Every structure is written in structure tokens, then in C-alpha cells.
Structure 1
Amino acid sequence: MNRPSALFSRGSWPEARRIGDLLRTETVGGLLLVGAAVLALVWANSPWREAYAALGAVRVGPAALHLDLTLATWAADGLLAIFFFVAGLELKREFVAGDLREPRRAALPVFAAVGGMIVPAVIFTALNLGAGTAAGWAIPTATDIAFALAVLAVLSTHLPSALRTFLLTLAVVDDLLAITIIAIFYTDELHPVPLLLALLPLAVFTVLVQRRVRSWWLLLPLAALTWGLVHASGVHATVAGVLLGFAVPVIRRAEGPGPGLAEHFEHRFRPLSAGVAVPVFAFFAAGVSVVDAGVGAFAHPVALGAVLGLVVGKTVGVLGATWAVQRFTRVELAEGLSWWDVLGLSVLAGIGFTVSLLIGELAYGAGSEVDGEVKIGVLTGSVLSALVASVILRIRNAHYRRMEAEEAVDSDLDGVPDVYERGEDR
């Protein structure tokens, strides 16, 4: 009789190695993200806070093309498109060539991501419905993977690769669901003609990448034109980044060594996304003057909804959905794992920074009356989630350090641990 599937099973060695490399790259970007946010908060609460606001309001770009945007808007609409392009590449790779191409493995993070979006949205809506500020219901629904991985880097945690894969995939699916919500619910005015015209450069881009064309002087203008037309259509321009990412093929056409085109683009653009795009957006988005907002801002329904949605809603949603999968499919946690591990990751998923701030701007408008409350709620909820998750994961840290030390003894000369060659789950 076949053994039942295990939640958070180990997966394959190539996938574990790839995820490890990816995490090492992302943690650097996460630390830059945190640094940019701290710099913005310090400047926005200093005697020179008016200069910070004036910098974000500087307009650049061709007015004839309606692209004379502020620096803050360029960061949110332009630079974040790079972030979502990389997210689209990663999501497609996970489901086409990664371990998650198997429905049994994909179901858990997908259900967890859905649960981790529904519960926070319900909490936020319940607190803001009577106050007339429920438009930001999606603020606490997304997980910031760069910020979360930065926390793991600071902790020097020894979480198993299967749990790390789960966190990564959960965050990527979160991003996909969030950008879908942005496209559907936060598009105030739709202009069909530019949107239809955007399909033309997108189609040419798709044909070229399907033919494995890598020439930047061909692909970059097509990507920029697609972005510009989507921006003109009224749909948030970051949607163009996701669509362009989905167009890139994952599987190599010919046999032979070397990465596929999606992996090649991911390798090229991830440093730009994690090292420039996201930190610059965080710098312009995270600067809230607590002095101007006042202590009462923390008790505002928008701020409370963001804090409780991230800290409580994410934990209940992700943990509850994971438990439901275990309960109704009769699968068990992999040997050596505890529900405390799942709890730690569920709390860590409450770090919602980049996309949460973006949705806040779209829901209420940059510089709106509740703009400060949105930023205070998102920052407070993310910091609390990071602190609570750190306590839980620290408790498990010594346990997994001992496990890794034992497995290192079993490694063969080929560098592949025996547990992967035997196909064991732990």
C-alpha cells in the first residue's frame, strides 16, 4: 500500500538547491528594503520632512505622452513592474518546471495563500465598513517575500528547504492574487483602446521570447511599449510586468546544459528588482510622519484593520487552510516537522509591505486623508509579525541545526545528501 503524502515533504535535490540559491539572493534585497524603509521613516519624521515630501512630488517624463509622473508614481507604477515581471517568471517556473508542477504539491501553498487573503480581508472590512473606509479591504492580503526572507536571514534560521519553498510559493501566489485584485477592483476608469493596443507589442514580445531571442534592444522597447499602453488604459501598469513574465518560456527547446530563458531573465533582472526597484519604492512609500499623523492614528479603523489583518488574519488564514488540507485529505506532516513550524511561517506571512502599501495608495489615493494611517498600520503589522515569528522560529532553530548536522554526515562524494537520493521525507 502506498504511503500517504506528507505535508511539507522534502522534494527534489535540484529544487532544494535552486530554492537555496534564490533565498540567498532575495535576503540581500530584503535587507536593502528594510534599510530604505527605515531611511524614509527617519527623514519623514525629521525637521527636514518637507524636503522628503517635495522629493516624491518632483515630476519627470514626457508630458506629450501623459507620462510626466511624480518620482513616487514612477516608483509605484514603473519600478514595481520589474518586481512583478520577476514574480511572473518565478510563478511560471514553479508550476511548469518546479516541484509544484505536481498538483499534490501545488495545492497546499495555493490553498494557504487563498486562506491568507480571505481572512485578513474579512477582518479589515469588518472594522472599516461602518467608517466608510472599506475600500482598502485588500491592504493586508499580500505577503512581502523580500521582507520575510530578510527576517530569516537575520535569524540565521535552519528551516528545511520544503518549508522555505512553501513560504516562497505562498508569497508568489499572494502576489499573483494581489495583482489580479488590483486589475479588477482598483481600476477606476478603463480605456479599452490602449488596452487592446497593448496586446500587439505583448504578442510580438511573446513570439520573440518563444523563439529564444534574448536581444535587449528588441525586447526592452516592446516591454516598455506594453507597459506604457497598459498604464494609459487605466489598469495598473504592474499588470504588464506579470503578463510579460508569463510570456517567457521555461523549458529549454534543445537538450543541453545551461538555464532556460525564464531562468536566464530571472538571473538578470532579480538583482535589479530586489536591489533597486523594491527599495526605491519602499523609500517613497514608507515615509509617514508620525508627528503629523498623531498618536490617534494608531486607533483609526484603517490602521487597526491593517494591523489585525496582517498579524491575526494572515496567521489564522494560512494556518487554518493548511490544517484544512491536512484534515480533509488525510495527509500528515512530514516526519520531524511540527505544527509550530507551520505557525511560525503563518505569522511570518503577515509581513505585508510592498504590495500592501501599493494597494493602500490605489484604494485611497496618494496623499489622502488616511494615507498616514495606511502606512502606520502596514508598518506596525509587518513589524509585529516579524517579531512574533522570530520568537517562534528561534525556538525551532536549534532543532533544525542539529538535524542538518546529522544529514551532513550522510552526504556522498557527489555532494547530494543521501536523503534526497533515497527519496525520504523528513
Structure 2
Amino acid sequence: MYVLRRRVLLEKILHSSMTGGVLLLICAVVAVTAANVPALKWLHHFWDIDFGFMFGEFSFNMPVRQWVDDVLMAVFFFSVGLEIKRELLVGELSTMKKAMLPMFAALGGMIFPALIYTYFNAGTPSASGWGIPMATDIAFAIGVLSLLGRRCPVGLKVLLVALAVVDDIGAIIVLAVFYPAHEIHLMYLVYAALVVIVLILLNRAGIRTLLIYLLLGLVLFIFVFMSGIHATIAGVILAMTIPAKTSTGDIRAFTGPDSPLGKLETALHPWVNFLIMPIFALANAGVVIDSSSIGQGSMPAVVPGVFFGLLIGKPVGIFLFSWLAVKLRIAGKPEGTKWLQIFALGILGGIGFTMSIFIDNLAFADPVLINAGKFSILATSFLAACLGLAALYLTTKKDDKNNVF
């Protein structure tokens, strides 16, 4: 009985959004400390060490940080893709009525930050970073929301999760279209397309052996990597081809033991939250804080662009587009929620962190701009978390009958 209780407790910890968010925050603090404390500089520079191997004409020799950004993050995007597919099939995006509010909210939460960023950066070397403030870090945002416990209406959590999923879809599209990793090689794209066709045919044929999909997914990753498109996109594409139906053909039972999608999503969750994301934070959140990191004499435009894009653009865009969707009767407001709570939720949407840093690395070649972008992302995400938590606390009541979270 004691062993069983410990196992149940461990499973709760591993599947807790708050625990994952706290670990991510700790790793970010460690990365920033390592970048600024001389005794820990070795950890900061470790990620720049070249590592790789040769396989025929393929050369995989790159810095450790790039291994994290290309390979480990492909697994992260695979996990995101599985979640997106689940939500589209049986979740909060499975019907048009359910999907309209988070779709509108996410659209506003992407358009307004991009416009604000562009206002500050148009005509500057940092203009290409408009995609940075468009993203929301779902792990951090849900983790912060979890701190409210039973004060938070369940409708708000559902809206945040659905909004973040749509936001991820938008970020993936922006990443694939506007931020290619290298020069595009069409031949490898053709090879990748052929692999995708095979994966789709396997799905349609009812093949549910995960090993086959994962091996073909590895081949897909290599071709996408060689094509010049960022290799993480391969993870999303592979996820879309993973079968969701059980052996009985019941799609609603996708979380059951016979469902490849359900098994993979459950199995990957702790690995993504407690290994991949912390490693990404350690590798990429290290910001050197000095006068040169945010400009000597003048602040790079990327700093106010990211700051106001995330902290102002996100909540304003999410709130206005949500209000518009409800007033036009395109969507309904979640039961038991107030407009002030939705605005407060929008502030949490300003927690960009993981996805914002990821796009920051791709948007700029200048290390000063990359560092300035990271500095603004970290500072703004922390401020958005504090302000969003305070705003939600002040606009919710613990004894609300809708607060079953």
C-alpha cells in the first residue's frame, strides 16, 4: 500500500503542470546565473562545443545547443502535434462551436503583438523578429494558473489550454513559412513528401505499430533537416499521421491502451516537461546581463518591441478578439467567467518563454540582437506571470461554484 501511494504521488508530480513550470523557471535562473558568474562560465560555453558524426554524405556536426534546438525540440514539437491532433479530434477544437472562441482569441493574441513589435522595429536590423512576441508558453502559463487552485473557474483553464493549442498552430506555421533554417533544397523536400505519403497510407491502412511510424519519422526528420526547413516541423507532421483510433475503431477512446496517439502523448509528457524543456532552458535562456547586452548608449528596438508586444499586445488582442467573437454571436463566453478574468488570462498569454526564445534564435544572426531579445523575453514573461496571477487572484473568488479546478 505504501509503495502504491508513493507511485500515485510520483505520477501526480510528473503530470503536474505547476511542477513542470517551476522546474523550467529554475533552469532559466541557472542558465542566466551561469552566463553572468565567472565560476560557472563553463556551463554557459558548454552549449557552444561542436559535436557530431558522419554517415555517408550526411554530416551532422554542430554545436550542442543546435542539437538541442533541432533534435530535442523536434520531440517537443512532436508532443505538441499530438496534443493538437487530440484537441482537433475529441477536445476543445473538435467542433466549430467549441473552437471559435479560442481561435479568435489566439488570432488577436498573435496579430496585436506582431503589429506592436513591427511599430518599434520597422526599418531596423531587428525587423525580422516580429514572430517573437506571437507565442505563448503553455507549460509556464498553465503552471502559473495552477497556483490559483480552486479560485480559478474551470472555463478559464479550458480556454487557456485551447487558446495555447491554436497559438501553437500559428507559431508552427510562422516558423515553417517565415523562418527557414537554411537555404531551401527542393529535392529533399520531395523526399520528405514521399515519406509523409507513406505515413498517411499506413494510417489509412489501419497500421498501428508505433515502431514503424517512429522509424519513418526519423527518416522524415533527416530529409526535412537537409531541406533547409527547420527540422522541428518534422515532429509536427509525424504527429498528424499517428493513428488516433483504438483497435475497436472508437476514436473517443484514444486515451486507452490500444491507441497509439494516446500512448505516445502520455509517455512523452514527463520526458518533455522534465527533460527536454529544462535542457532547452539551460541551453538557451543564458543571457549576459551588461550594458552591451542591451546596447551601449541606445537600447535595441527589439527590447521594447518584445516587451510591449507580449505585455500589452497579448492581453489586448486576446480580450478584444474574444469580445468581438461573443458580441457577434460567433462564440460564447465560458460559463462562470467574467470579462476582467479573460483580460487577466490574456496577460498570462504574454508568457512567451520557450517558443519566443526559439523564434528569437532563428530570427537574428547578430548575437547582440539575440541576447537583447532573450533578455526582453525573460523579463517580460516573468512580469506577465506576476501581473496575470495577481489580476486573476483579484477577479476570482474561492467559493465560486464554478471553481472546480
TM-score bucket (shorter structure): 0.7 to 0.9
How far the C-alpha of 1:213 sits from its partner, in A, is: 2.6
Pairing of 1:391-402 with structure 2 (within 5 A)? 391-397=390-396, 399-402=397-400
Q: Determine which of 208, 212, 237 is the counterpart of 1:213.
A: 208
Structure 1's unaligned 5+ residue stretches are: 1-20, 409-426
Aligned twin of 2:230: 236
Report 1:288-299 matches (<5 A): 288-291=287-290, 293-294=292-293, 296=295, 299=299
Displacement of 1:131: 2.5
Deviation digits for residues 44-74 of structure 1 (CA, Å, limit 9, x no counterpart): 1111354234201112221442211211111
Aligned partner of 2:240 in structure 1 is 246
Q: Which residue of 2 aligns with 1:88?
A: 81
Unmatched segments (≥5 aa) in structure 2: 1-11
Q: Is 1:172 equivalent to 2:165 in the alignment?
A: yes
Report the counterpart of residue 347 of structure 1 in structure 2.
347
Report the CA distance shift for 1:168/1:330 in structure 2 as closer, same or farther (over 3 A): closer
The alpha-carbon distance between structure 1 residues 387 and 345, as it changes in their structure 2 partners (threshold 3 A), is: same
Please tell me whether the aligned partners of residues 74 and 234 of structure 2 are also in contact (alpha carbons under 8 angstroms): yes
Inter-partner Cα distance in structure 1 for 2:208 and 2:20? 28
Shift of 1:332: 5.4
Deviations 1:328-350 (A, max 9, x none): 11765355321111011111001
Closer, same or farther in 2 for the Cα pair 1:295/1:214, shift >3 Å?
same
- Aligned CA-pair RMSD: 2.5
1:400: how far off? Answer: 4.2
Contact 2:213 2:242 survives alignment (8 Å): no
1:403 is aligned to 401
Please name the residue that 1:338 is paired with: 338
Give the 3 Å change call, closer, same or farther, for CA 248–49 of structure 1 in structure 2: same
After TM superposition, the score normalised by the length of structure 2 is 0.88
Equivalent in 212, 218, 222 of residue 224 of structure 1: 218
SS at match of 2:38: coil
Q: Deviations over 1:267-290 (max 9, x none)?
A: 111211111111111111100110
Q: Is the 8 A contact 1:160 1:400 kept in 2?
A: no
Paired letter, 1:226:
L
C-alpha distance in structure 2 between counterparts of 1:23 and 1:164, whole Å: 19
Give the Cα–Cα distance (whole angstroms) in 1 for the partners of residues 110 and 126 of structure 2.
Answer: 18
Task: Measure, in 2, the Cα distance between the counterparts of 1:186 and 1:88.
Answer: 19
Deviation for aligned residue 1:99: 3.9
Question: How far 1:221 sits from its partner (Å)?
Answer: 2.5
Shift of 1:28: 2.5
Match of 1:151 in 2: 144
Change (3 A) 1:234 1:343: same
**Cα–Cα, structure 1 residues 207 and 60, in superposed 2: closer, same or farther, change >3 Å?**
farther
Q: Which moved more, 1:275-284 or 1:42-51?
A: 42-51
Aligned equivalents of 2:379, 2:244: Cα separation in 1: 38
- 1:212 and 1:261 in contact (8 A); partners too: no
Give CA-to-partner distance per residue, 1:161-196, whole Å, 9 cap, x none: 222121111111111111111111112511011111
SS at the partner of 1:68? strand
- Aligned-pair CA distance for 1:383: 1.0
Residue identity matched to 1:392: A
TM-score by length of structure 1 reads 0.84
